[in-house]
Amino acid sequence: MSEAFVRCTGVTKRFGDTTAVDDVSLAVEHGQTLALLGPSGCGKTTLLRLISGLERPDAGTISIDGVQVAGGGRDVAPEKRRVGMVFQDYALFPHLSVRDNIAFGMSGSGRKGRIEGLLAGTGLAGLGSRMPQELSGGQQQRVALARSLAAEPSVMLLDEPFSNLDPELRHRLREAGRAILESLQMTAIFVSHDQEEALSLSGRIAIMMNGRIEPVGSPSAVYSHPATRAVANFLGDANFLPGEDRDGRLQFERGSVAAKSGLSGAVEVMVRPERLR
């Protein structure tokens, strides 16, 4: 397994008496896309802000590309972490054109060529002179993505970037976003409460509940073999049957089936509707 590119170890963040992020440990490999999926108020956006440097952890450490950026007496400024962030409301500068929004913060030679390349790569060719208010929601989202990529970040953080779009446009843009991130081999973490979006867009999923991360896995593994009942309920429809494992058979109120659960005694079986025949 590759060395983690982004690593959180025992990260905790409190706001008064509320613990928003509770002893979270998380690792994301280089070039991997991880979805932070969970209900509103579970702490996922706070964790994203901690990684970006917009918040400071009360405990634990955060490392990016092998360099500790937070915790243990260190607090690297957000602009020095080489992190790109796309906010839910895009946060475009209304007084700047599309081209100038993308160029904001860029330095060095070859700026013009890089800007034109980003415009083309995000489907915005020919729109560089327009103002943000002259664009559709989908176009504004792509400007926000291009602006974040312009700074050549090592990590992209996306905070529910598609939530303000209609379903059809959301589907098209998340596919386009995935293609862009994959083509750049970009390490990315995105926050979502949309189950379909997380299952289709990411290579791995981390479910967050009440400030804690449930076991991380592939979309299929987390869906088919959830670690807890809460995760199973959050990821789609599920039925739960109480039973008992007796010598390799699951005994229910009205029958039994063979099973290789490796358990014994009282159990609860999750059944997804699509698995019934």
224, 193: one domain: yes
- Structure confidence at residue 2 as a pLDDT band (50, 70, 90): low
**Would 203 be classed as within a structural domain?**
yes
Q: 234-250 pLDDT, tens per residue?
A: 888 899 989 898 887 88
Question: Average pLDDT of 175-200?
Answer: 84
Q: How many domains does the chain have?
A: 2
Q: What is the percentage of the chain residues whose pLDDT exceeds 70?
A: 97
> How much is the pLDDT for 8?
97
5, 63: one domain: yes
**Would 252 be classed as within a structural domain?**
yes
Structure-block tokens of residue 180: 């862009």
209, 258: one domain: no
Look over the chain and give the mean of its residue pLDDT values, rounded to a whole number.
Answer: 88
- Structure confidence at residue 180 as a pLDDT band (50, 70, 90): confident
Question: Average pLDDT of 150-178?
Answer: 82
4, 67: one domain: yes
CA distance 142 to 140: 5
- Structure confidence at residue 160 as a pLDDT band (50, 70, 90): confident
224, 252: one domain: no
Structure-block tokens of residue 159: 């905070």
- CATH code of the domain covering residue 21: 3.40.50.300
188, 265: one domain: no
**Would 92 be classed as within a structural domain?**
no
Structure-block tokens of residue 263: 């358990």
**Would 221 be classed as within a structural domain?**
yes
**Would 39 be classed as within a structural domain?**
yes
Q: In what order do the strands lie in the sheet with 265-271?
A: 255-258, 249-252, 239-246, 265-271
Domain interval for residue 265: 239-275
Q: Which of 53-62, 101-110, 132-141, 170-179 has the highest mean pLDDT?
A: 53-62
219, 248: one domain: no
- Structure confidence at residue 1 as a pLDDT band (50, 70, 90): very low
Query: From residue 27, how far is each of 33, 128, 165 by CA, in Å?
Result: 11, 37, 30
> How much is the pLDDT for 257?
84
261, 188: one domain: no
Q: HSE (CB half, 13 Å, CA atoms) of 112?
A: 0
DSSP string computed for 6-33: EEEEEEEEEETTEEEEEEEEEEEETT-E
213, 263: one domain: no
Which has the minimum average pLDDT: 61-70, 95-104, 161-170?
161-170
Is the confidence at residue 104, as pLDDT, over 70?
yes
**Would 254 be classed as within a structural domain?**
yes
> How much is the pLDDT for 133?
94
Is the confidence at residue 145, as pLDDT, over 80?
yes
Question: Average pLDDT of 69-89?
Answer: 91
188, 231: one domain: yes
**Would 89 be classed as within a structural domain?**
no
- Structure confidence at residue 157 as a pLDDT band (50, 70, 90): very high
> How much is the pLDDT for 101?
94
**Would 58 be classed as within a structural domain?**
yes
> How much is the pLDDT for 52?
96
206, 260: one domain: no
> How much is the pLDDT for 260?
74
Give the residue, 233 or 70, on which the prediction is more confident.
70
> How much is the pLDDT for 200?
75
Question: Average pLDDT of 201-211?
Answer: 89
> How much is the pLDDT for 13?
98
